[in-house]
């Protein structure tokens, strides 16, 4: 009997044992940050194996259920990414702690994790100079108000950088510390691009989701960068892809898609993106919906762009990568000729019958090989094919012509990095380019390029002439650079030099430069003083130095930059930085109507057959320009910390002055006209032009930025900006309406500009009221196991400030008290009935 009872108990236990083993396990888990020493509150967590989503409480806890004990994957759903953390669930009632800090043992995909075997690490963060450099974090700028989701647009808020045109929308380039915006250098992965923004001024040429970080050098920059008088904007794209991602963004005027995926078992990755712009359709649709009229025959800008990057690591020593960047913009206007039309009801009456089309673009392709034989040395070889282009086709009064020009080249570049010990490192490289510049079609030449008011309808002595052109400029270009870094405790010294040589014009430039900094411990996280200076050069990527239509004797443009400052890092991620600077420009290339050579090749290919050479041939350009800029910059910043929801922001202030002088003879107002010979002598010996404020001068610039992600679902941002208006030359009269538009008989009034220093009215002698505006943005996130959906509303110019950019002269009316009038800038939308609303942008972003 006892044996029978024992067998019954064993059978009973055997029956219920599986029920106990496979019963559901209920447990508590907590997301915890060791760095912040607190739980991650209000965060969504996907338990990958069960596909259930949980939400943490204020302390980071949540209750969960799994079918059985085991190791499970907890996916932390973040806005920009998803983090997978492995957790071991052993029994019901257990508390599982999941550490979210990068580099913790439980964290998967952290930056401090070792790279997979066979991966070469070539993108390690090298020491970067502190002087005149600002690094922008992607998470701080992607959703900044007033940027329309473009990280590059956020560069407007750092000291020393302002847009070239209307602040925000409409600006497609940057003025950096008063330099010509066309003298900046824009790089993506150390490869050139022609321009940073499309024609619309709203969209950047690089997809936001591909950007890792942006370095902006506003003053002294390292020797590996070249051909820039202004600043250097260097964009690093994503350099690590752990899992496939897809991203779709649809906004009012453009749509984009991007894709990222690891390849060959994690040995490499592929990233690609494409975008199309349709501002023309958006504006025309909005105008129609508001019951307003859109100018007939006008098509606003369109664009397309794409970026591709493929990286493959053969092993720890060898890597190859392929890069391709493409962009193309165009706009057109074919304005109908309407005889006896009412200019009050036709904003294009003065230009009726004109036909204009314009475009620009670039194609950059590169194949790169990196060899890293040892940890302390790597060498990179890059094959580059770069093809920037511009084109136009115009028929407007005496302005007749079409042209396509390119500053293309093919080249090979070598860059080496040697870091033998903690005291010394060096970067050095060389480059060879085969230049293939060309300009085909016809050239439109203004008789006097310094005339501020040329008349396109002047039939007696036309201000414009058109000559056929078929210009090519082929040749070689060489450069080499060396930068050494010496580290003696807290003292860092960085001397360097660069040499550039162009045989085509037999011109060379040697630019030494140096920087130094010293960090004092004891106050907060440290106090650093820094300073430096050097010579920097630029040669234009166009045909101005061509022997047929330009000046083959042009020199490199030059600027001597120097400055220094102090930076204080405080607890709580606060930073205070101040910097003073000065930049002295010389040999600037300017339009010169007087410079000639005794005998030269006839630029007209038709008359050249009968007369191959002409006397006193115009060279059109000279190196007569000089100038300078000076100022100081202050920054108070609260940096963001990855993985936190604390607020961040900064306040910047820049005071500066910028002056230019073309050093070209200017006839005195009211003086008797000179003969051709007298003019030539005066131009040679009497360079009487005055030093004046530069077109892009802004005396005071203030930016205030605030961002706060207070929950997993909501984010808010605000930005306030203030700028002194740009100087302008006052209009003091008109030409009497001597000519008219033959297409419609409309009298064309040409403004006359002030040029009398004795009366205090001359070039750039006036300013209008300052520019300021407030922008805000709200983001709402919907998180799912496959990714997230982000909807956003962006409001520009919240308090409806009526900002102006300069004077606007209506050529259909004579000069009067109301003509010219202040020209409004981007930021508001006028509705029928006189109602004005802020400019806004709504959109949706989907990330898979």
> Residue 13 pLDDT > 50, yes or no?
no
> Residue 488 pLDDT > 80, yes or no?
yes
> Residue 226 pLDDT > 70, yes or no?
yes
Q: Is 682 helix (H, G, I), strand (E, B) or coil?
A: helix
* pLDDT value, residue 600: 75
What number of other Cβ atoms are within 10 A of residue 690's Cβ? Answer: 12
Domains of the chain in start order, with CATH, are 25-99 (2.60.40.1120), 133-239 (2.170.130.10), 254-847 (2.40.170.20)
Q: Which band of pLDDT confidence, cut at 50, 70 and 90, is reported for residue 17?
A: very low
> Residue 465 pLDDT > 90, yes or no?
no
What number of other Cβ atoms are within 10 A of residue 332's Cβ? Answer: 17
* pLDDT value, residue 751: 93
DSSP state of 828: E
* pLDDT value, residue 102: 52
Spatial distance between the Cα atoms of 406 and 666, rounded to a whole number of angstroms: 33
pLDDT tens per residue across span 754-798: 887 766 778 888 999 999 999 999 988 887 777 778 888 888 889
* pLDDT value, residue 126: 56
* pLDDT value, residue 642: 56
* pLDDT value, residue 14: 35
* pLDDT value, residue 82: 72
Pick the closest to residue 473 from 442, 433, 510 (CA basis).
433
Quick one: average pLDDT of 417-429?
A: 93
- Lowest mean pLDDT: which of 62-71, 302-311, 724-733? 62-71
> Residue 238 pLDDT > 60, yes or no?
yes
* pLDDT value, residue 50: 82
Look at 669 and 824; give whichever has higher pLDDT: 824
Q: Up-side HSE of residue 707: CA atoms within 13 Å toward CB?
A: 24
Q: Which band of pLDDT confidence, cut at 50, 70 and 90, is reported for residue 112?
A: very low
Q: Rounded to whole angstroms, what are the CA distances from 50 to 53, 72, 73, 98?
A: 9, 9, 10, 18
Quick one: average pLDDT of 173-190?
A: 92
Which tokens belong to 331? 């706009």
Q: Which band of pLDDT confidence, cut at 50, 70 and 90, is reported for residue 114?
A: very low
* pLDDT value, residue 677: 67
> Residue 205 pLDDT > 50, yes or no?
yes
> Residue 10 pLDDT > 50, yes or no?
no
Whether the CB-CB separation of 481 and 224 falls below 8 Å is answered with yes
Q: Is 349 helix (H, G, I), strand (E, B) or coil?
A: helix
Whether the CB-CB separation of 516 and 492 falls below 8 Å is answered with yes
* pLDDT value, residue 634: 95
pLDDT tens per residue across span 285-307: 777 776 667 777 788 888 999 99
- Provide the b/e sequence for 106-138 (b: ≥16 CB within 10 Å): bbeeeeeeeeeebbbebeeeeeebbbbbbebbb
- Lowest mean pLDDT: which of 147-161, 623-637, 822-836? 822-836
* pLDDT value, residue 107: 36
Rg (CA), the chain: 31
* pLDDT value, residue 19: 34
> Residue 182 pLDDT > 80, yes or no?
yes
Q: Which of 11-25, 163-177, 681-695 has the highest mean pLDDT?
A: 681-695
* pLDDT value, residue 9: 39
Q: Is the peptide bond before 3 cis (omega within 30 degrees of 0)?
A: no
Question: Angle 549-553-554 (CA atoms, 0-180°, nearest 5)?
Answer: 90
Whether the CB-CB separation of 48 and 73 falls below 8 Å is answered with yes
Spatial distance between the Cα atoms of 185 and 195, rounded to a whole number of angstroms: 9
Q: Rounded to whole angstroms, what are the CA distances from 811 to 334, 458, 774, 824, 826?
A: 19, 14, 34, 17, 22
Averaged pLDDT score across all residues of the chain: 83
pLDDT tens per residue across span 321-357: 999 999 999 988 888 877 655 666 666 778 888 888 9
Helix, strand, coil percentages (3-state) for the chain, rounded to 5, are 10, 55, 40
Q: Rounded to whole angstroms, what are the CA distances from 654 to 15, 157, 179, 760?
A: 80, 11, 15, 27
What does residue 20 show for φ and ψ, rounded to 5 degrees?
Answer: -75, -40
> Residue 624 pLDDT > 60, yes or no?
yes
- Strands 254-263, 268-277: pairing kind: antiparallel
Maximum distance among all Cα pairs of the chain, rounded to whole angstroms: 139
> Residue 270 pLDDT > 80, yes or no?
yes
> Residue 674 pLDDT > 80, yes or no?
no
Q: Which of 20-24, 38-42, 276-280, 587-591 has the highest mean pLDDT?
A: 587-591
Whether the CB-CB separation of 720 and 650 falls below 8 Å is answered with no
With a pLDDT cut of 70, the percent of the chain lying above it is 87
> Residue 26 pLDDT > 60, yes or no?
yes
Whether the CB-CB separation of 158 and 216 falls below 8 Å is answered with yes
> Residue 20 pLDDT > 70, yes or no?
no
Spatial distance between the Cα atoms of 606 and 602, rounded to a whole number of angstroms: 9
- Residue 522's contacts (CB-CB under 8 Å, 6 or more residues apart) are none
Q: Rounded to whole angstroms, what are the CA distances from 241 to 52, 254, 698?
A: 26, 26, 42
């Amino acid at each position: 009997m006892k044996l029978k009872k024992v067998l019954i108990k064993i059978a009973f236990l055997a029956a219920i044992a599986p029920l106990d083993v496979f019963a559901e396990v209920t447990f508590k888990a907590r997301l915890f940050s060791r760095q912040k020493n607190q739980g991650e509150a209000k965060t969504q967590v996907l338990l990958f194996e069960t596909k259930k989503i949980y939400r943490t409480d204020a302390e980071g806890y949540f209750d969960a259920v799994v079918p059985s004990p085991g190791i499970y994957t907890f996916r932390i759903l973040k806005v920009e990414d998803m983090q997978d953390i492995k957790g071991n669930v052993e029994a019901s009632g257990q508390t599982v702690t999941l550490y979210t800090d990068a580099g913790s043992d439980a964290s998967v995909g952290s930056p401090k994790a070792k790279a997979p075997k066979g991966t070469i690490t070539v993108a390690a963060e090298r020491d970067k100079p502190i002087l005149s450099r600002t690094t922008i974090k992607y998470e701080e700028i992607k959703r900044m108000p007033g940027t329309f989701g473009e990280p590059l647009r956020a560069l407007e808020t750092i000291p020393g950088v302002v847009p070239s045109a209307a602040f925000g929308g409409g600006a497609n380039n940057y003025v950096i510390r008063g330099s010509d915006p066309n003298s900046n250098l824009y790089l993506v992965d150390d490869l050139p691009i022609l321009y940073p923004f499309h024609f619309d001024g709203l969209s950047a040429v690089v997809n936001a989701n591909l950007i890792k970080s942006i370095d902006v050098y506003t003053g002294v920059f390292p020797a590996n960068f070249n051909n820039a008088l202004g600043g250097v904007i260097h964009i690093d794209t994503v350099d690590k892809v752990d899992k496939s991602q897809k991203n779709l963004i649809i906004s009012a005027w453009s749509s984009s898609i991007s894709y990222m995926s690891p390849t060959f078992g994690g040995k490499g990755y592929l990233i690609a993106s494409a975008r199309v712009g349709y501002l023309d359709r958006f504006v025309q649709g909005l105008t129609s919906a508001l019951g307003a009229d859109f100018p007939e025959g006008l098509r606003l800008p369109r664009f397309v762009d794409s970026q591709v990057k493929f990286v493959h690591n053969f092993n720890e020593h060898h890597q190859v990568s392929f890069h391709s960047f493409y962009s193309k913009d165009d706009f057109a206007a074919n304005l109908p000729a309407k005889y006896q039309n009412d200019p009050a009801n036709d904003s294009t009456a003065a230009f009726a019958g004109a036909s204009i089309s314009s475009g620009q673009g670039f194609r950059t392709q590169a194949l790169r090989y990196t060899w890293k034989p040892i940890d302390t040395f790597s060498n990179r070889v890059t094959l580059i094919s770069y093809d920037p282009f511009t084109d136009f086709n115009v028929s407007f009064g005496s302005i007749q012509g079409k042209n396509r020009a390119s500053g293309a080249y093919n080249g090979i570049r070598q860059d080496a990095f040697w870091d033998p010990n903690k005291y010394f490192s060096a970067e050095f490289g060389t480059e060879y380019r085969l230049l293939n510049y060309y300009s085909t079609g016809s050239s439109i030449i203004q008789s006097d390029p310094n005339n501020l008011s040329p008349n396109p309808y002047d039939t007696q002595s036309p201000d414009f002439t058109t000559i056929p052109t078929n210009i090519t400029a082929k040749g070689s270009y060489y450069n080499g650079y060396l930068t050494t870094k010496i580290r003696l405790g807290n003292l860092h010294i960085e001397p360097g030099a660069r040499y550039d040589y162009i045989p085509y014009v037999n011109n060379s430039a040697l630019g030494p430069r140096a920087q130094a900094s010293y960090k004092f411990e004891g106050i907060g996280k440290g106090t650093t003083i820094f300073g430096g200076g050097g010579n920097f050069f630029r040669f234009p990527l166009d045909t101005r130095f061509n022997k047929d239509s330009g000046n083959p004797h042009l020199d490199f443009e030059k600027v001597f930059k120097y400055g220094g400052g102090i930076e204080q890092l405080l607890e709580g991620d606060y930073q205070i930085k101040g910097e003073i600077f000065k930049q002295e420009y010389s040999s600037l290339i300017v339009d010169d109507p007087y410079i000639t050579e005794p005998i030269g090749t006839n630029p007209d290919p038709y008359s050249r057959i009968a007369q191959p050479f002409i006397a006193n041939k115009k060279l059109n350009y000279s190196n007569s320009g000089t100038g300078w800029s000076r100022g100081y910059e202050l920054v108070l910043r609260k940096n963001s910390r990855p993985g936190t929801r604390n607020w961040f922001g900064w306040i910047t202030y820049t005071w500066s002055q910028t002056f230019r002088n073309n050093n070209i003879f200017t006839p005195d107002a009211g003086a008797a006209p000179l003969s051709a010979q007298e003019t030539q002598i005066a131009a040679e010996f009497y360079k009487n032009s005055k030093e004046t404020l530069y077109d892009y001068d802004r005396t005071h610039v203030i930016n205030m930025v605030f961002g706060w992600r207070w929950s997993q679902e909501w984010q808010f941002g605000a930005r306030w900006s203030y700028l002194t208006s740009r100087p302008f030359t006052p209009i003091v009269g008109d030409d009497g309406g001597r000519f008219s538009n033959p297409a419609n008989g409309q009298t064309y009034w040409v403004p006359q500009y002030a040029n009398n220093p004795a009366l205090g009215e001359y070039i750039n002698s006036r300013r209008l009221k300052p520019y300021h505006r407030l922008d805000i943005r709200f983001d709402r996130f919907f998180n799912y196991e496959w990714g997230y959906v982000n909807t956003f509303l962006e409001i520009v110019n919240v308090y409806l400030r009526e900002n102006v950019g300069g004077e606007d002269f209506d050529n259909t009316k004579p000069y009067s008290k109301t003509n010219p009038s202040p020209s409004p800038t981007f930021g508001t939308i006028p509705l029928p009935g006189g109602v004005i609303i802020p400019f806004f942008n709504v959109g949706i972003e989907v990330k898979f």
